[in-house]
Structure 1
Amino acid sequence: MFQRTQLREGMTVRSIDGEKLGKVFALGDDSFHIEKGLFFPKDYLVRYADISDIRDGEIILMHGRESLRSLSDTDKYGSTTTGYDTTSGLGTSAGLGTSAGLGTSAGIGTDTGLRADASTEVAIPVHKEELDVTKRDVSAGEVRVHKDVVEEVKTVSVPVRRERVRVERRDVNPDRPAMNASFQDETVVVPLRAEEVDVHKRAVVDEEVVIRKDSIEEERRVAESVRHEEVEISTPDDVDSKRSLNLGPDDDPLLRRR
């Protein structure tokens, strides 16, 4: 059997044939209430034992639409207020009976609220929204460094050497004998040498451009609207004011709605 902890307020309730019956608006120890609407003319009380399955966050009952409608009209459990009899743990006023350990005034009434005596504690959740702030990295721009090739003429002075000829005549002793004189035409070749300049280019590192990224921290304000619930309490004496919660002696404030 399904337990109270497996259900929560607001869950959709469907019949075994898939028909939407309404939503859960109150949870008791042994049963829960389906809000009144087009299908039920008034709030309908269902036992946890009547749940067939809980699927995809929805409650599936064991009965079909028409069966539930007839049960709602004729009171399946022997009471004219769609409640359980005392043998099943709920009183004739659709409340918890004496066999459940609570008096007939501590059960579920014929209206939409739970009745509670001094021994019953009812917690009313009041909700609000909080802001959860997270951070994510995004692109904040970019820095581009572009290199252009510039051509220029560089002049370098290089010392070079070459040989040249100087011709001079000088007198000799006329008595000096001539050796190997052939008295034939003859040409004497004297080679001359000179240095030429060859230019070669090579790539070298002229300088470096260093780009560093530093992280700076700044404070940014983020504003977003949040909602919260406020509780308005009225008593039976406040007949002229709009009632949000009924705190009469026979009502449980958890299940009273405006």
Structure 2
Amino acid sequence: MTVRSIDGEKLGKIFAVQEGEFLIEKGLFFPKDYVCRYSEISDIRDGEIILLHGKEGLHRFSLDEERGVLADQGIGADVGSAPMVGKDEVAVPVYKEELDVIKREKQAGEVRVHKDVVEEEKELTVPVRRERVRVERRDVKDRPAMHASFQEETVVVPLRAEEVEVQKRTVVDEEVVIRKDAIEEEQRVAETVRREKVEIRSDGDVEGPRKLDLDPDDPTFRRS
């Protein structure tokens, strides 16, 4: 995208973006890079970015000023997420998303054991004893009687019998045993992930895409 100042002057084109700011390339044969924060954007019209200030408000993006002016713009010694790799060059990180799987337990179902009280008649045969009377008369033939009173009296002979009393007691008839076993199974999950795709476009007569020759020994180089 083309970047213009508040008065309409063309300042350059964006060639890299990072968190909080974007980089502007100004010039054709001897390009210079400038950094501009998103908060400095005034408007976007017809695919062009209009800034709140003129070109004097741009900040040079170079290794020499890394700990100078750029530090005042919120860019640390490692130049944020786009580390410096040389004069007037910057490494632009390209991000992508990956999936991390987290397992947690949840209730998948339940088993209920319900007991109802059922009444039924139960019969038992119980042997019982009772006494009964047999009366007989004997002829004893002139046995002497002692203490005869010759008075009316009633002799009572008690009769005994067994009766049945029913009592109930609770016993365990059976048990219902519930066991839980842990089984493993595979479950496929799918989720949409995003990744950044780099597209380089140029306008006018340029030599081609700028290449970043990264030097791993550079102290300002940071792998992302």
Q: Structure 2 length normalisation: TM-score?
A: 0.58
Shift of 1:210: 1.1
Determine which of 22, 27, 30 is the counterpart of 1:25: 22
Change (3 A) 1:238 1:185: farther
**How big is the shift at 1:203?**
1.3
- Separation in structure 2 between the aligned mates of residue 95 and residue 182 of structure 1, nearest angstrom: 151
Q: Report the CA distance between 1:225 and its aligned residue.
A: 1.9
Q: Against the structure 1 CA distance between its residues 238 and 187, is the aligned structure 2 distance closer, same or farther, given a 3 Å change threshold? A: farther
The answer for the alignment partner of 1:156 in structure 2 is 124
- The Cα of 1:196 is off from its aligned counterpart by 0.7
| TM-score (norm: length of structure 1) | 0.51
1:227 alignment partner in structure 2: 194
Q: In the aligned structure 1, how far is the partner of 2:142 from the partner of 2:131?
A: 35
Report the alpha carbon displacement of residue 234 of structure 1 after superposing the two structures with TM: 6.7
Give the direction of change, closer, same or farther, for the CA distance of 1:9–1:178 in structure 2 (3 Å limit): same
Task: For 1:210, give the aligned amino acid.
Answer: V
In structure 2, the residue corresponding to 1:38 is in which secondary structure?
A: strand
Asked if 2 retains the 8 angstrom alpha-carbon contact of 1:33 and 1:43, the reply is no
Distance of aligned partners of 1:248 and 1:218 in 2 relative to their CA distance in 1, 3 Å threshold: closer
1:123 alignment counterpart: 91
Distance in 1 between the 2:202 and 2:108 partners?
A: 59
How far 1:237 sits from its partner (Å)?
A: 10
Determine which of 25, 37, 42 is the counterpart of 1:38. Answer: 42
**Local SS of the residue matching 1:210:** coil
**Identity rate, percent:** 58
Cα drift, residue 170 of structure 1: 2.0
What is the RMSD of the two structures over their aligned residues, measured on CA atoms? 4.0
In the comparison of the two structures, how many residue pairs are matched? 165
Tell me the equivalent position of 1:171: 139
Can you list the C-alpha shifts for 1:4-24, whole angstroms capped at 9, x where unaligned?
xxxx9332xxxxxxxxxxxx1
Matching residue's letter, 1:247: R
1:149-174 deviations in Å (ceiling 9; x for gaps)? 111111111111111111112222x2
Q: Structure 2: how far apart are the matches of 1:162 and 1:9?
A: 110
In structure 2, distance between residues paired with 1:119 and 1:183? 155
- Bigger share in strand: 2
Do 2:61 and 2:88's aligned partners in 1 also have CA atoms closer than 8 Å? no
SS of 1:25's equivalent in the other structure is strand
Shift of the 189–42 alpha-carbon distance from structure 1 to 2, 3 Å rule, reads closer
* 1:247 aligned partner: 210
1:105-116 mapped onto 2 (5 Å cutoff): none
Say whether the 8 Å CA contact 1:164–1:192 is kept in structure 2: yes
Q: Does 1:190 align with 2:157?
A: yes
Partner of 1:104: none
Aligned counterpart for 1:135 among listed residues 89, 103, 118: 103
In 2, are the aligned partners of 1:235 and 1:248 still within 8 Å (CA)?
no
Deviation at 1:190, TM superposition (A): 0.5
What is the rounded CA distance, in whole Å, between the counterparts of 1:178 and 1:124 in structure 2?
Answer: 144
- State which of 106, 110, 115 in structure 2 corresponds to 1:147: 115
Residues 236, 246 of structure 1: 8 Å contact kept: no
TM-superposed deviation, 1:32:
4.0
The alignment partner of 1:209 has SS state of: coil
> What runs of 5+ residues in structure 1 fail to find an aligned partner?
1-7, 12-23, 45-67, 77-81, 84-93, 102-115, 240-244, 250-258
Q: Structure 2 CA distance, aligned partners of 1:42 and 1:145? A: 71
Counterparts of 1:248 and 1:234 in 2: how far apart (Å)? 13
Question: What is the CA distance between 1:217 and its match in structure 2?
Answer: 1.2
Higher normalized contact order (CA 8 Å, seq sep 6+, divided by chain length)? 2
- SS across alignment from 2:36: strand
Secondary structure of 1:145's aligned partner? coil
